[in-house]
Amino acid sequence: MTAATALLCPHHGEDRRAAPTLRTCWACRDRMAAHLEALPALYGRLGDALVSPVTGGGGPRVTGTSSAPLPINPAVADHRDQIRHDLVWWTKYVADARALALPDDRIGEIAGWLAAHVDWLAADPVASEELPPVLRALVGRAHGLLDPSRRLPTGERCRVVSDGAERCAGVISMVQEADDTWTARCSVCGPQEAAPYLRNRTAGRWVTWERVQAYALRRHRVRIGGDTVRQWARRGHITARTEGGATWYDLGSVERYLSRREKMAG
């Protein structure tokens, strides 16, 4: 496949080309593998959470009966069923398409079997587009049920601008609430609209060097440290600015620089 006809990853639009021989980028392929690896343990933890008061399982004894309350959290039980349903469905999809025998009917075996076929899934026209969001939703919902207020640091600078045209120097964390919605919390100015921080595009994102480090490893499989990030900025490879004693890096410039490096290496 030539550069002119290279596919775009369906989960990043024009921001990311698909990896060679695949229909997703490497990051989406690796994320599918990571989600499949994580789901058996999450499935087990959800089983434990069926009776956990943290997730609402269990209830008062019914008056006039000698039996214990039903230790069932319907939301947790439903999601365990959903995990099994979706993994079994995609297992049958792969098995039918490739004329393969099905694995043993255990979540660990099923997820491991799918993980062994992750490259095929990332190259298949249907699975490459539909499976990543399915797995992301299964994992995200499981975490939301197990930890109803999950905080994820983003390393991104707050976008709030004061009346004096000064941008807030706080750092954003995303918090997943019990109803699976996300809210953005700034370390300085508190809650704000989540939507701008949930978009996939890198343009306009000013981030800490730690976020640059995580981005380079996750999207481009490049391991770097803070000294390397600062060196890239000094040499003009990426854009940086220092305000209020903190240095911020333009994630869009990082994406462009790493993409250029990949093309030169290829």
What average pLDDT is seen over the chain?
Answer: 83
- Give percent of the chain with pLDDT exceeding 90: 36
Same domain, 12 and 111: yes
Same domain, 82 and 194: no
Same domain, 39 and 12: yes
If you search the block for the tokens 């069926």, which residue do you land on? 50
147-156, 185-194, 241-250, 253-262: range with lowest mean pLDDT: 147-156
The Cα angle at residue 118 between residues 112 and 120, in degrees rounded to 5: 130
Dihedral (CA of 218, 258, 251, 8) sign: negative
Same domain, 48 and 139: yes
Same domain, 20 and 126: yes
Same domain, 81 and 46: yes
Residue 184's DSSP bridge partners are 174, 192
The better pLDDT of the pair 20, 68 is held by 20
Integer Cα distance of 47 and 76 in angstroms: 8
Same domain, 86 and 189: no
Integer Cα distance of 110 and 78 in angstroms: 19
Same domain, 58 and 136: yes
Integer Cα distance of 142 and 43 in angstroms: 8
Cβ atoms of residues 197 and 156 within 8 Å = yes
Which of 159, 174, 199 marks a domain boundary? 199
Query: 205 Cβ partners below 8 Å, 6+ apart?
Result: 156, 250, 251, 252
Same domain, 41 and 110: yes
When pLDDT is cut at 50, 70 and 90, the band that residue 9 belongs to is: confident
The structure tokens listed for 220 are 């481009």
Strand order in the sheet with 206-207: 190-192, 182-186, 171-176, 150-157, 206-207, 246-250, 240-243
DSSP for residue 6:
P
The per-residue b/e assignment along 108-123, b for 16 or more CB within 10 angstroms, e otherwise, is eebbbbbbebbeebbb
Same domain, 154 and 138: no
Residue 191's DSSP bridge partners are 185
Closest among 48, 70, 50, 72 to 60, alpha carbons compared: 70
Domain count, the chain: 3
Domain boundaries, position 256:
200-266
How far lies 210's CA from each of 37, 172, 179, 207, in Å?
Answer: 25, 13, 29, 8
Integer Cα distance of 255 and 63 in angstroms: 62
Highest mean pLDDT among 19-28, 145-154, 170-179, 189-198: 19-28
Which of 103, 126, 146 marks a domain boundary? 146
Cβ atoms of residues 32 and 132 within 8 Å = yes
Same domain, 68 and 14: yes
Same domain, 189 and 95: no
* Segment 53-92, tens digit of pLDDT: 555 554 444 444 445 555 688 889 999 999 999 999 999 9
Cβ atoms of residues 107 and 73 within 8 Å = no
Query: 223 Cβ partners below 8 Å, 6+ apart?
Result: 216, 217
- Whether residue 13 has pLDDT greater than 80: no
